[in-house]
């Protein structure tokens, strides 16, 4: 179970309020949407403040109470979200997370430094996409146990299953993750692959772009029915490269720069005025190529990507 935040110092924010970043981290992993995550956190605090003074004082570990409550809310919202996504136009991708992280987040409010790397790794786009394929109970169990270190008996009370069933859910979730993950690639190699991809894309050379894509490369674009995007996943380097080069024909003033996307090197595409048009997350393979490409174009999912200065251009 996570450690309590402890009492605040005089003049510091309410210890319960300081848990906002932790709760956003949890609910974003559960829902894949910062907007939905913020709604879940807001509902969590509403339920906390609905407690009587005596009930709140009786809570030995406010952080654990808040996480449990947010987990239950997230589980309920996942069911509703699945129904909404069945009506979604085109492919649905998680909302990309910029380098600034959670709104109003400060380093001191996240978790202790030893946990920060674990939390960073668990918001990668690659993992979030795998989480989308899980059942709501699998997803909640995996995130609470493998990321937030809750025990199976604690999780059982959240998802309404026995501890043994929760153990099985976590095992099934880990199997899904293992099946989707290829040879691990270190941060430096990942960054090098992103730079090579960006360079090849900007040359407009089909052969160069195909060469930096894995033979089994796939690309998914999310326009939400609001902007142009491929309605189905693209498979194979030729199809992916052809689609990417077609972007230059439709948007000749496109500017592509490197950026942190969900804690990993990625790309952000803007027009000459610096307006963000797309955010790209990439997964590198052990062969030094791009295996998966996720392109978020839905403007509603780019609201947290601020207007940025124009880059060097093509």
What global pTM score does this model have?
Answer: 0.85
The gap between the terminal CA atoms of the chain, to the nearest Å, is 50
Query: Please, what's the b/e burial string for 152-176 (b: 16 or more CB within 10 A of its CB; e: otherwise)?
Result: bebbbebbebeeebbbebbeebeeb
| 3-class DSSP string for the chain | CCCCCCCCCCCCCCCCHHHHHHHHHHHHHHHCCHHHHHHHHHHHHHHHHHCCHHHHHCCCCHHHHHHHHHHHHHHHHHHHHHHHHCCCCCCCCCCCCCCCCCCCCCHHHCCCHHHHHHHHHCCCHHHHHHHHCCCHHHHHHHHHHHHCCCCHHHHHHHHCCCHHHHHHHHHHHHHHHHHHCCCCCCHHHHHHHHHHHHHHHHHCCHHHHHHHEEEEEEEEEECCCCCCCCCCCEECHHHHHHHHHHHHHHCCCCEEEEEEECCEEEEEEECCCCCEEEEEEEEECCCCCEEEEEEECCHHHCCCCCCCCCCCCC
* Burial bucket for residue 112 (CB in 10 Å: 0-12, 13-18, 19+): exposed
Q: Which two tokens stand for residue 27?
A: 């609910």
CATH number of 187-301: 3.10.450.50
* Burial bucket for residue 125 (CB in 10 Å: 0-12, 13-18, 19+): buried
Quote the pLDDT of residue 120.
53
State the maximum Cα–Cα separation within the chain, in Å, rounded to a whole number. Answer: 69
| Residue 151: how many other CB atoms lie within 10 Å | 12
Quote the pLDDT of residue 286.
86
Cα separation, 134 vs 142, whole angstroms:
10
Q: Which two tokens stand for residue 123?
A: 């918001």
Kind and range of the H or E element at 234? strand 234-235
Residue-wise pLDDT for 223-241, tens only, equals: 999 998 888 999 999 999 9
218, β-bridge pairs: 235, 292
Task: Tell me the domain boundaries of the chain.
Answer: 17-180, 187-301
287 in Cβ contact with 294 (< 8 Å): no
Quote the pLDDT of residue 104.
37
Cα separation, 180 vs 164, whole angstroms:
25
282 in Cβ contact with 194 (< 8 Å): yes
**10-residue stretch averages of pLDDT, the chain, 314 residues long:** 45 70 93 94 96 94 94 94 84 90 44 42 87 94 93 96 97 90 81 96 92 96 92 96 91 92 94 92 93 96 73 47
Quote the pLDDT of residue 121.
60
Quote the pLDDT of residue 2.
54
264, β-bridge pairs: 261
Quote the pLDDT of residue 105.
39
């Amino acid at each position: 179970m996570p450690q309590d935040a402890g009492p605040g110092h005089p003049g510091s924010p309410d210890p319960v309020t300081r848990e906002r970043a932790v709760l956003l981290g949890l609910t974003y992993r559960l829902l894949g949407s910062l907007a939905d995550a913020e709604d879940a956190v807001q509902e969590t605090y509403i339920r906390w403040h609905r407690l009587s003074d005596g009930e709140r004082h009786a809570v030995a570990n406010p952080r654990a109470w808040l996480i449990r409550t947010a987990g239950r809310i997230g589980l309920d919202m996942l069911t509703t979200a699945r129904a909404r996504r069945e009506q979604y136009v085109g492919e649905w991708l998680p909302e990309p997370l910029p380098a600034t992280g959670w709104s109003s987040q400060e380093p001191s409010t996240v978790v202790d430094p030893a946990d920060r790397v674990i939390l960073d790794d668990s918001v990668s786009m690659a993992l979030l996409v795998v989480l989308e394929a899980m059942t709501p109970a699998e997803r909640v169990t995996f995130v609470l146990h493998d990321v937030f270190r809750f025990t199976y008996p604690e999780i059982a009370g959240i998802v309404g299953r026995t501890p043994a069933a929760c153990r099985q859910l976590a095992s099934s979730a880990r199997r899904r993750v293992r099946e989707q993950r290829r040879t691990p690639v270190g941060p430096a190699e990942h960054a090098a692959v992103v730079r090579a991809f960006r360079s090849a894309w900007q040359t407009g050379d089909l052969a160069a772009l195909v060469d930096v894509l894995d033979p089994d490369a796939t690309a998914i674009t999310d326009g939400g029915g609001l902007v142009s995007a491929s309605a189905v996943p693209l498979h194979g380097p030729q199809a992916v490269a052809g689609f990417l080069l077609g972007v230059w024909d439709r948007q000749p003033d496109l500017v592509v720069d490197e950026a942190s996307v969900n804690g990993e090197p990625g790309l952000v595409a803007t027009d000459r005025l610096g307006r963000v048009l797309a955010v790209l997350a990439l997964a590198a393979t052990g062969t030094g190529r791009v295996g998966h490409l996720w392109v978020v174009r839905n403007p509603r999912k780019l609201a947290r990507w601020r207007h940025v200065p124009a880059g060097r251009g093509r």
